[in-house]
Structure 1
Amino acid sequence: MNRHPSRTALRVVVTGSFAVVALALTGCGPDITAGDGSASDRLQAPTAEQPAGEITIWDRSGDLYEVFDAVIDDFEAKYPEITVNHEAVDINAKLQNTLITGTDVPDGVFLDDALVGGYAEHLWDVTDVLEPYIDDIAPQKIDATTVDGGIYGVPFDLNPGLLYYNAAALEAVGIDAATIETYDDLLAAAKEYQAAKPGSKPIHLEQSPFLGQLQLEMYASQLGTSIADSDGELRLDSDEYEQILTFLDTVQKEGLGTRAEYLSPTDIAELENGNQVFYPWAIWFDFAPQQLLPETSGDWRAMPLPAWAEGGARSGAMGGSSFVLPKDGENADLAWLFYEFLMYDEAGYSAVWGVNDIYPTGLNTSIPAYSPAADPSRPLFEPIEALGGQDLWAVATEAGAQIPSGTAIPSWWNGAVDYLGNDLQRMLDGDLTPAEVVSSSTDGIQTNLIDRQ
């Protein structure tokens, strides 16, 4: 669910991409579960000294496609007997039918983590090939694509939640952002800012049901929980969700929140005029000051999220993608070599996140999920001028290292937006209490999504 937007396209268009993903999964046919967990389900790496063959790799069109495409020459230099056919595909529209029919199945596919569980029956368990690297991969990413004990995705990115803030606006009223260590501190700072700038609503409140649910899960990730446990059982009825929902309800009731869809015209206007100065979001919000906020570009900074309690985790995961290897692909084992090069070979991951022709200062809207690649002392992308020259790499890698481990994302996650995502918006409308959100969403998801699988 991470997004790496075109450098020439408005980021606002991205919200439409999220909606497409939601519709695609909600419209899935029968429930798809993992294989039987036997050794036959586990992909094995090629044993030939010079592996040979052709592989077909599917990626979405756009800048990331171009980044991955630019690495192919280096891969083929290492494996001269392997030819890569790289295709730009509308994955959400094509993948389901392709896997069901078994016709022209690609060897590797770029896929949102939230969709992996729904396709696991058709995918190779990559536990064995990941074994040399698994101790150095962010636990949250492994957990996100683990189904019935098997791992069905080769992790791509880590999307740590950060608190973006307008440093110039805060400094103008004497607020030191460094004092914000907990969400109570954030509320206090918002009240202080509002007192100095009457009419402002300093904290972003997401108005899109899908993105609102995604952000809610970022907050939950900080607390080591999520919408479902490792067995797929709902766990919204918990102290953690009550705490998060109460915080959001407080922001709304006390008039401290700007209610707007992510980077919509209203959202951008309130960011530019200084009314909205705190934005708790995934790392990829940095696109906004780089391209959509000309009046305040250079004023923004990023810091780890506040903790829910003193000493708690200062980040949670918000979105993410992995590479999957369909069983019906002719050469999935060779496709694994491509992804191994891309993610775990220094030449590969340096080409993806480092300075390149597509991103002249490096790909800065995510960080690698592989800790040797996400070394705080060895930045892959450069400081960001639109963040006042801040070293976002250092901030993001520090935050990413704090993300607690999690659980697999259930196959019905996107369908839950019709319940949890919508009920969250009803709470922000003043129609539901936090307790009623939990009760209503739990009933709807259990009855209409889980029990019908």
Structure 2
Amino acid sequence: MRTHTPRRLLGALAVASALALTATACGSGESDGGDSGPKDVKAALEKGGKVTVWAWEPTLKKVAADFEKKYPKVDIDLVNAGTGDKQYTALQNAVSAGSGAPDVAQLEYYALGQFAIGKSVEDLSAYGAQKHATSFTLGPWSAVYRDKAIYALPMDSGPMAFFYNKKVFDKHGIKVPTTWDEYVDAARALHRADPEVFITNDTGDAGATTSLIWQAGGRPYKTDGTHVKVDFGDEGSKKYTSTWQKLLDDKLVAPISSWSDAWYKGLADGSIATLSIGAWMPANFTSGVPSASGDWRVAPLPQWKKGAKVSAENGGSALAIPKAAKNKELAYAFTEFATTGAGASTRVAEGAFPATRTDLESKAFLDTEFPYFGGQKANRVFAESARNVGPNWTYLPYQTYANSIFNDTVGKAYVSSTKLADGLDTWQKASVKYGNDQGFTVNE
């Protein structure tokens, strides 16, 4: 999902804490049986109290009501403090001020690292979170677990899939591409058949770019405490830039920003024929593009190597407990309830895409028919994608800042003669400089 974050967001966090953090400071992940053990959670529930939750995800409303019904002494105050970067700014301001932080905060996976390395969120290992290590799919769990510490519990996930307009494909005799080379061929054939039709849209999106590099096997980011490496010269990154550059050179990509009115119109009228995006997208089709119901279908992502089955994550978020939380035991109880077991199933029933293996593998989930996609059992495609997410992906500990300058660097390739590879190189250099300026040790 697309997020633009102000540069001021990371300043106080990185300057105050980056130099102080070492590779082992993230915690051992072992509970010492002290004051914040699992038994204290049970005692806190019996005592009751108020838990303030900052989140924009709508399905949490039903989860909060269910939690209060189960634990009548607990009051859940669900607050929408803004979506994505707006909430992160508010949270960082509260952390810096030393007051006003919530007990639970929703954080997208790419943003979690900045709060973890700044020691602004709790290591949930001490609350018994390690028992959930096998409860979640690989992508989301890898995003919250590092250096034996668990900084959040996954709330949802975004395994990628290929959404295509079957009506448009059938009209022009285009086969669904199974490789990215076939995708380029399909893009050319579509645009040749109808110059008003584009294979997709793109004006420069950090999340989409890094997700496709992830799928291609690229691992441009490596982090060990405050030691960071940024390298978009790896083979996976080159695969992506080489393919996407062909699309840009031949003007096969609609110069339309995602989530704009023009984007929704393009999805509705078929002038934007495909999307490679996270499995959370169906709800957006249903609500934002109702007139195209029945036109679209879902398929696995095209592959970089014929016959392969590799995917990546795009989007998704988790629930974390700020260090400044007032009711940490109750906060953990709600976090656990909302992300595992009954709470997770409730959210799936309300339209969220699960991060839990149990929900992903349930017959009811897999057999769900989507009227919007012509009755297709699309969850089967999404579940397979979740199983095939490439391992060992990491984000920068200041990814929010890096994403905020994407359009100023890589974005130039979409509006000028700048090559995509050169744009990535500029983004890399800017990310390295910023990290070093903030006290990290960053190499290329």
User: TM-score normalised by the shorter chain: which range applies?
Assistant: 0.7 to 0.9
Q: Give yes or no for the alignment of 1:415 onto 2:404.
A: no
Whether contact under 8 Å (1:203, 1:251) holds in the other structure is no
Match of 1:436 in 2: 422
Per-residue CA deviations over 1:321-373 (Å, capped at 9, x if unaligned) read 1111122323312221222222222x22221111xxxxxxx40xx52111112
Instruction: Normalising by structure 2, report the TM-score.
Output: 0.84
Whether contact under 8 Å (2:344, 2:356) holds in the other structure is no
Q: Distance in 1 between matches of 2:64 and 2:437?
A: 42
Q: Distance in 2 between matches of 1:84 and 1:274?
A: 43
Whether contact under 8 Å (1:217, 1:226) holds in the other structure is no
Superposed, 1:135-284 pairs within 5 Å as: 135-177=134-176, 180-195=177-192, 197-207=193-203, 209=204, 212-231=205-224, 232-284=228-280
Q: Give yes or no for the alignment of 1:87 onto 2:84.
A: no
Q: How many residues align?
A: 418
Distance 1:436 1:353, change over 3 A: same
Match of 2:442 in 1: none
Q: Distance in 1 between matches of 2:175 and 2:31?
A: 57
Q: Distance in 1 between matches of 2:115 and 2:174?
A: 48
Distance 1:385 1:24, change over 3 A: farther
Q: Distance in 2 between matches of 1:194 and 1:429?
A: 20
Give ranges in structure 1 of 5+ residues lacking alignment: 2-14, 355-361
| One-letter amino acid of the counterpart of residue 60, structure 1 | A
SS of alignment partner, residue 119 of structure 1: helix
Q: Give yes or no for the alignment of 1:115 onto 2:111.
A: yes
Match of 1:350 in 2: 345
Q: Percent identity?
A: 19
Whether contact under 8 Å (2:106, 2:319) holds in the other structure is yes
Q: Distance in 1 between matches of 2:302 and 2:137?
A: 21
Distance 1:378 1:186, change over 3 A: same
Whether contact under 8 Å (2:366, 2:380) holds in the other structure is no
Whether contact under 8 Å (1:126, 1:151) holds in the other structure is yes
Moved more, 381-390 or 277-286: 381-390
Deviation at 1:261, TM superposition (A): 0.3
Whether contact under 8 Å (1:289, 1:387) holds in the other structure is no
Deviation at 1:63, TM superposition (A): 2.3
Whether contact under 8 Å (1:144, 1:406) holds in the other structure is no
Q: Give yes or no for the alignment of 1:377 onto 2:363.
A: yes
| One-letter amino acid of the counterpart of residue 206, structure 1 | D
Match of 1:296 in 2: 292
Q: Distance in 2 between matches of 1:73 and 1:282?
A: 31
Distance 1:30 1:260, change over 3 A: same
| One-letter amino acid of the counterpart of residue 339, structure 1 | T
Q: Distance in 1 between matches of 2:231 and 2:360?
A: 32
Whether contact under 8 Å (1:59, 1:65) holds in the other structure is no
Q: Indicate the RMSD between aligned Cα atoms, in angstroms.
A: 2.8
Deviation at 1:23, TM superposition (A): 5.0
| One-letter amino acid of the counterpart of residue 352, structure 1 | R
Distance 1:299 1:176, change over 3 A: same
SS of alignment partner, residue 159 of structure 1: coil
| One-letter amino acid of the counterpart of residue 153, structure 2 | V
Q: Distance in 2 between matches of 1:379 and 1:302?
A: 16
Moved more, 244-253 or 131-140: 131-140
Deviation at 1:40, TM superposition (A): 7.5
